[in-house]
Amino acid sequence: MDLLFDARHVRQSGIGTYIRTQLPHLEDAAARDHLSLAVLADPDSLPELRPSTDVIPATPPQAAMYSAAEQSAWRHAFDLTRPRAVWLPHYPYPLARALSGGRGMSLYVTVHDTIHLLPEAISGQSRARRLYARAMLSADAKFCRRIFTVSEATAATLRTIEPAAPVLVTPIPVDEIWLQPADPELSPVRGRYLLYVGNTKRHKNLPLVLEAFASLKDVVPHKLVIAGGGASLRTLDERVRRLAEDNPDRVLVTGQLDFASLRSLVASAELLIMPSLYEGAGLPPLEAMASRTAVLSSSIPALRETCGDGAEYFDPHKPEELAQLLRTYCADDAARVALAERGHAHVLARQQRICAAASAEAIFDELVSART
């Protein structure tokens, strides 16, 4: 087998979007170069693939990320396919590479972010988990043929671990469907509202949004909608739970939504707020910009890199800065429309600059070169 690609997490958000984006480019490159492609997948989450692509059932199935079972799944796949190259779309290093099934193969990994290296107060990771992450990333930096990252900010962090890390920055574009008009009737929320999309992990910094919004409850008429948090909202932070429950008419938690409803929700929002303390890149603000929704973003490096001049920025440690932006853009329709158009122009320009197939092309170019 020329290339084995790990697609076990294709149904997840985040990494699943990344995997779904890469699969057609891998199949195109394999067909063009007459090379064989296999996809490692769980039986209950098989992606849509062409007949020419082999499917390798994961054994054991449903192995969790960062687990011993995941290492076993990789070893079984390596022994079965004897691949010339392997691409893993997240950072754990496959220990089986040093064993029989992994000898001589080129390894490619994607590092989306380095959140697991950050202090527990931000990452939520214990010291043991942070040490594990550093060991895995160090092995990647030393032994991978290539490490793909979705932003220069993540690449810079990797180079602090290993200056000679073979990093290639390959940003991913927004799916073109976000640039198409959404049906407003599919939105689960009516009226004027501000929107947060994401999970409720600590680095997402959702309490800052709630604090800023609470300070303006008598100033702006909007609702605050939290999409994607679901039941985990109640278990993360007492401030989040209290503010949401104390303002049931103003703070709405939708939980997970189907894609059409989410797209309509984003397109119908007046503002999307991205308050993160840390990100690898950040797709939600780009998806909002593509939908002509104005974006307010925290001023961290990765989001400034991703959003460029298409957003307005605030210090993620200062709720008063976000509150001032909300006060301005909730009251000034013309300014908000201008910001939305600025964001839309940024996304269109970014789409033109990015090669969505860059990672797949890099791998197959090297495979062809090695073959000849």
CATH 3.40.50.670 fits 176-353, yes or no: no
Q: What is the pLDDT of residue 100?
A: 47
Q: What is the pLDDT of residue 102?
A: 52
98 CB-contact burial (10 Å; exposed 0-12 / middle 13-18 / buried 19+): exposed
Q: Which residues of the chain have pLDDT under 70?
A: 98-103, 229-241
Encode pLDDT of 19-60 as tens digits. 999 999 999 999 999 999 999 999 999 999 999 999 999 999
Measured in degrees and rounded to the nearest 5, phi and psi for residue 3 equal -140, 135
Omega before residue 60 within 30° of 0, cis: yes
In the three-class reduction of DSSP (H, G, I as helix; E, B as strand; rest coil), residue 184 is classed as helix
Encode pLDDT of 285-322 as tens digits. 999 999 999 999 999 999 999 999 999 999 999 999 99
Residue 268 tokens read as 């119908």
Q: How far is CA 343 from the centre of its chain?
A: 19
* pTM (two decimals): 0.89
**Where do the domains of the chain lie?**
3-172+354-371, 176-353
Same fold, 3-172+354-371 and 176-353: yes
Assigned CATH topology for domain 3-172+354-371: Rossmann fold (3.40.50)
Q: What is the pLDDT of residue 238?
A: 66
